[in-house]
Chains A and B, each alone.
Chain A
Amino acid sequence: MAGITGKDAVLTRYADKLEQIDAPKGRSLTQDAIRRLVRNRAALVSIVIVVLIVLIAFIGPRFAPWDYSKVDWTSIRKPPDVAKLHFFGTDANGRDLLSRVLQGTQMSLIVAGVATAVSVIIGIIYGAIAGYFGGRLDAVMMRFVDVMYAMPYVLFVIILVVIFGRSPVMLFVGIGALEWLTMARIVRGQTLSLKEREFIEAARAGGARSMSIITRHIIPNLTGPVVIYATLTVPEIIITESFLSYLGLGVQEPQTSLGTLISAGAQVAESQTWLLVFPAVVLVTMLLCLTYIGDGLRDALDPKDR
């Protein structure tokens, strides 16, 4: 679940790199990396596919022949039927699977997006404070992060679901709140190296307050790590969501998610194969592509190629 993409390894390497060079060059390192990434064919194809999936998931429902919650009483549990415009077949309630896959993909993406955003925000605030103020505060805050790394993550996710079960957004805010550790570490490292730079010294000498230094000068320099972090965190959350769906703790009907669809499909893998194959193909494709992008990013940042 957590860590499927080797997020920590990639980001730690990147952060080390950033610390070694002058901060203004941090941006050019990011630009460099992006240029390199674009040259990586697997990563580029993956980016195109992911963008397509996202677009189709959000725009597709407008053009789909059926609504995702509409019951077609004449075709319950039926395989794909072009004549009735059920291109992916229907589920056990006679709802169009194509529309449900689109809605499910959308839901999985939203959920992953929310959780990632929450973890990024917490990570940035926490890391920036620890790094900027340094000293004792930093030591205590980072010790806390170390210890949090050792917590039984899965157990806390389940406890959170039990409490926030009724509201998917709250739930994934909760998961995001458990996922921020890596982000906090990176941001702290970044901040530590940035705050010694001339332009920050200058700002401080000019009487700027700590808060505004953090928001004006430090956070804008974090675009690179955030992009990488998000690419690597989204698939983790999607997998976590599918695991929760299997335990019956997924999103509320009539809404659905890829995880919910797949866990329903897994039960009938032989007799109603279409219920498993379509959502599984979307999920696997999307996650594979995200992993390739992550790999591409790592290669793009590999110091050996410089």
Chain B
Amino acid sequence: MRIKQAFQVSSAAGVAALMLSGSAFAVTLNLHNGGDARTLDPNKESVNVEDRIISDCFEGLMTIDPKGEPVPGQATSFDVTPDGLTYTFHLRDGIMWSDGTPVVAQDFLTGLEHLENPKTAAEYAYLANFIAGVADYNAGKSTDPSTLGIKALDDKTVQYTLASPTPYFTAALTHPSLYPIPTADYKANGEDWASVDHILCNGPYQIKEWVPGSYVRSEKNAKYYDAANVKIDEVYYHVLEDNAAALNRYRAGEFDIMTDLPTDQLALIQKELPGQARLTPIISVYYYMLNELKKPFDDVEIRKALSMAINRDVITGDILGTGDVAAYSWVPPGVANYQGAVYTNDWQTLPYEERVKQAAAIMASKGYTPENPLKATLRYNTNDNHRRIAVAIAAMWAQIGVQIDLLNAETGVHYDALSAGDFEIGRAGWIMDYNDASNMLDILRSGQKQPDGTINWGNNYGRYSNPKFDALMDQAAKELDLVKRAGIMHEAEKLAMDEYGAVPIYDYVTKWVVSPKISGYEDNAVERHLTRYLSKSE
């Protein structure tokens, strides 16, 4: 006799009385979501924890299939002009918000205006900068919403005007920041429209409850056009930052899916729960940035030596052991609109001992030896994996005469220091927003001079700067022929990587654990899995 079950039966009656909405026969998915959401508003979304909730409850003109590929969502089809600047979307029949009001073209306008309105202070506002007028509107240079490159031709037709040809536009439309919001609801409730009390959804699920620090609960949205094929009735997105505790709960049967796993426990998972860990490469890079405004990291040779001395196979194989892929290129393999071979350098196939020898020789020629080492600080944000990798790389560099001080800090503090250039070597990572090589390469563009005289380096923490690289990226942005565009970007990547503008270490893999009860889950490279495609058997 299990006490837990006895307890649950006895308390079920009381709980059922409290929770009028919960049907006893519902199929419930328990998803371990990691941290807590900060908002449920698609326009304000900023992290994947929110994306998993919001993408289940909202749908854009485009959505994704189980493989993560963009497919028509609220639109059925679109036309694009030959110059690649105007896209016209035709909305699906019978789409509506969860209160039954139809989704109309105006809702997309409302969404874009809300996203770009400076008062909304949306973090992903810049993602839509390829739409005409967006950048100026968000910066407050224009206050007229009609300057935004979006028009409602009629209730069922939305037209976008782009600032420049954007081959990944339809892929970008799958991002929740570009989703529509219910106009009437937003007008009536203002920013409060996205609170649990007022929120209306146009996706397969409707948010019902949010207990901060514990879970968000959504229920199937009967008004969704494809509701007949949605098999899971209720989803709990559980908050739990402690991955070891999460694994315990998964093993106790309380979670059906984990979206992250404690790396150290992989062996245990593979032994006790065979086949349940889902490790698939995602389009992303884990890398170190060397601050090129600080000596001696302005020296290409030093950067090269440091990169050569990192044994990536040991990091992915022994230190992490989760099947991550050693990386030498800036753009990970398999990225869209990037025809051509993956970048390789001339030393990556050498035996590691030989690489260390060459790297040590370079360092020695600059006057750094194990006896007279180069002293530098390596910063990383607090996380078990980052710590381990930093410790391992510090030990690898010790062989070539580099003495590393490790410094960890909370995520905010870490990136604050990186942004301010207050570091020598720093860890960073990038999980691509949309599947296009430019999303990766744009990181390495030179900084922009600001009105107040400072330079904004964006995500280019290492402050790599090469006018030729910038020119190539500008040229690629104007190129309509996708193959030619890919060629130009490859040239740019080679330039930046030959100069070690950043030191890629590995490409991430997903670390999901999926119960055998769940079917419909397909590994994909964007790490987005909509619940509408899943089903659960008891």
Contacts and interface: CB of A to CB of B under 8 A. Distances in A.
- Given a CB threshold of 8 Å, the question of whether A touches B is answered with yes
B267 interface: yes
B406 interface: yes
B318 interface: yes
Contact of B267 (A69, A252, A271): A271
B392 A71 contact: yes
Contact of A271 (B264, B318, B319, B387): B264
Given A93-B319, A253-B387, A268 B382 contact: no
Interface in A33-78: 69-71, 73, 76-77
A253 B406 contact: yes
Contact of A92 (B319, B408, B409): B319
B407 interface: yes
A212 interface: no
Contacts of A79: none
Given A73-B314, A166-B407, A93 B244 contact: no
Interface in B374-402: 382-384, 387-388, 390-392, 394-395
Given A92-B388, A93-B319, A271-B268, A165 B409 contact: yes
Contacts of B264: 77, 92, 267-268, 271-272
A303 interface: no
B392 A253 contact: no
A270 interface: yes
B262 interface: yes
Interface string B468-488: 000000000000000000000
A252 B408 contact: yes
B265 interface: yes
A50 to B, nearest CB: 31
Interface residues of B, number: 26
Given A93-B319, A166-B407, A253 B391 contact: yes
A267 B407 contact: no
A264 interface: yes
Given A248-B382, A253-B391, A271-B267, A266 B319 contact: no
A162 B268 CA distance: 34
Contacts of B243: 267
A162 B262 CA distance: 25
Given A267-B262, A268-B264, A272-B264, A93 B392 contact: yes
B390 A253 contact: yes
Interface string A90-104: 001111000000000
B409 A71 contact: no
Contacts of B319: 76, 92-93
A207 interface: no
B395 A71 contact: yes
Contacts of B387: 253
A152 interface: no
Given A76-B319, A271-B267, A264 B409 contact: no
A76 B318 contact: yes
**Chain A interface residue number, banded:** 20 to 34
A255 to B, nearest CB: 9
Contacts of A266: 244
A162 B413 CA distance: 10
Given A71-B392, A92-B319, A93-B391, A252 B406 contact: yes
Contacts of A69: 395
Nearest to B395: A71
A68 to B, nearest CB: 11
Nearest to B320: A92
A252 B391 contact: no
B220 to A, nearest CB: 36
Nearest to A271: B268
A254 interface: yes
A277 B410 CA distance: 28
Interface string B311-348: 00010001100000000000000000000000000000
A109 B406 CA distance: 22
Contacts of A165: 409-410, 413
B317 to A, nearest CB: 9
Interface string B191-229: 000000000000000000000000000000000000000
Contacts of B407: 166, 252
A154 B57 CA distance: 39
Contacts of A70: 395
A252 to B, nearest CB: 6
Given A266-B244, A267-B264, A166 B388 contact: no
Given A76-B318, A92-B319, A248-B382, A254 B391 contact: yes
Interface string A134-177: 00000000000000000000000000001001100000000000
Contacts of B413: 165
B408 to A, nearest CB: 6
A254 B392 CA distance: 10
Given A73-B318, A252-B408, A267-B262, 11 more contacts: A70-B395, A71-B395, A93-B388, A93-B391, A248-B410, A252-B406, A252-B407, A254-B391, A267-B243, A268-B264, A270-B268
Those 7 A-B pairs whose CB atoms lie nearest each other, nearest first: A267-B244, A71-B395, A248-B382, A271-B268, A253-B406, A93-B391, A76-B318
26 contacts: A69-B395, A71-B392, A76-B318, A92-B388, A93-B388, A93-B391, A93-B395, A94-B318, A95-B391, A162-B410, A165-B413, A166-B407, A248-B382, A248-B410, A253-B406, A253-B408, A254-B391, A264-B384, A267-B244, A267-B262, A267-B264, A267-B384, A268-B244, A268-B262, A271-B267, A272-B264
